[in-house]
Amino acid sequence: MKTETLNYKDGDVNLRGYLAYDEQKGGKRPGILVMPEAFGLGKNARSRAERLAQLGYVALGGDPYGDGIELNELPEAIKLATALMEKPANFRRRARVALDALAALPQVDSSRLAMIGYCMGGTFSLELARDGAPLRGIVSFHGGLSTQLPAAAGQVKARILICNGADDPFVPAAMVNGAAEEFTKAGADWQIINYGGARHSFTNPEADKLGNPALSYNKLVDERSWNAMKSFFEEIFA
């Protein structure tokens, strides 16, 4: 497996993505964009890109902030994430330029693209689906589900899989129901899996170290949601 830094830009912002693929595999393959948590393109997102490459995909970990910035403290992450998400059009563009960079790669079949995201990255993936991006499907893992720009009828091209922790205090039941109503009205192909006992960041093995009771790794739910994603990709790329 080959991994490398992929440089791309959003206006005058320099972005440093993490590309992973099997260089021994010939032909064009589906491309998967991986958007990370609010802490930036760190270990968890990079490892997910590598695992996707092992499955035969070309995976790009997107850089949300620029220059590959990684954060260690939750208040710092919240500050940068809040500023980034303040203007939905700019937020969507930050993910769209990463998707465009992935689609332009010679080993990627640009007609077979998908996107996954974790926490803020899950919100990124849903926002690109709402924006009508040319995606076969998106998967949100413990992402925020509300939006300032709801999907319009007929606008969503991607099939949607939302993997949500039923005990996530950042995503109350009303928000889950709101997303279901939004995507139903938009005519989207959507599904939501609510995992009992799972809190925010249930896929991140480092979550418990942050000392926030809302954040907790759940190994079983991590495995279940990853397997749900794999089945989803088999369906959309069939």
- Considering only residues 229 and 72, tell me which one the structure prediction assigns the higher pLDDT: 229
What mean pLDDT do residues 200-211 have? 94
* pLDDT confidence band for 71 (50 / 70 / 90): very high
CB-based contacts of 42, cutoff 8 Å, min separation 6: 36, 70
Predicted pLDDT of residue 36: 98
Predicted pLDDT of residue 69: 94
Q: How far apart are CA 215 and CA 76, in angstroms?
A: 16
Q: How far apart are CA 97 and CA 108, in angstroms?
A: 15
* pLDDT confidence band for 207 (50 / 70 / 90): very high
Give the residue among 195, 20, 7, 194 at the shortest CA–CA distance from 101: 7
Any bridge partners for residue 18, and if so which? 5, 61
CB 66 within 8 A of CB 125: no
Beta strand extents in the chain (DSSP E only): 2-10, 13-21, 29-35, 58-61, 108-118, 137-141, 159-165, 190-195
- Structural domains present in the chain: 2-236 (3.40.50.1820)
* pLDDT confidence band for 72 (50 / 70 / 90): confident
Predicted pLDDT of residue 191: 98
Q: Residue 73 pLDDT > 90, yes or no?
A: no
Predicted pLDDT of residue 26: 87
Predicted pLDDT of residue 74: 86
Encode 115-154: b = buried (16+ Cβ within 10 Å), e = exposed: bbbbbbbbbbbbbbbbbebebbbbbbbbbbbebeeebeee
CB 81 within 8 A of CB 120: yes
What mean pLDDT do residues 87-110 have? 97
Q: How far apart are CA 45 and CA 52, in angstroms?
A: 11
Number of H helices, E strands in the chain: 6, 8
* pLDDT confidence band for 146 (50 / 70 / 90): very high
Predicted pLDDT of residue 165: 98
Q: Residue 81 pLDDT > 90, yes or no?
A: yes
* pLDDT confidence band for 140 (50 / 70 / 90): very high
What mean pLDDT do residues 143-163 have? 97
Q: What is the pLDDT of residues 7-37, one digit of tens each?
A: 999 999 999 999 999 999 889 999 999 999 9
CB 145 within 8 A of CB 176: yes
CB 84 within 8 A of CB 10: no
- 13-16 long-range Cβ contacts below 8 angstroms, 24+ apart: 13/66, 14/66, 14/67, 15/62, 15/63, 15/66, 15/67, 15/97, 15/98, 16/41, 16/63, 16/66, 16/67, 16/68
Predicted pLDDT of residue 199: 98
Q: How far apart are CA 177 and CA 213, in angstroms?
A: 24
What mean pLDDT do residues 198-219 have? 95
Residue with token string 């992402």: 143
Give the residue among 3, 30, 85 at the shortest CA–CA distance from 77: 85
Predicted pLDDT of residue 4: 98
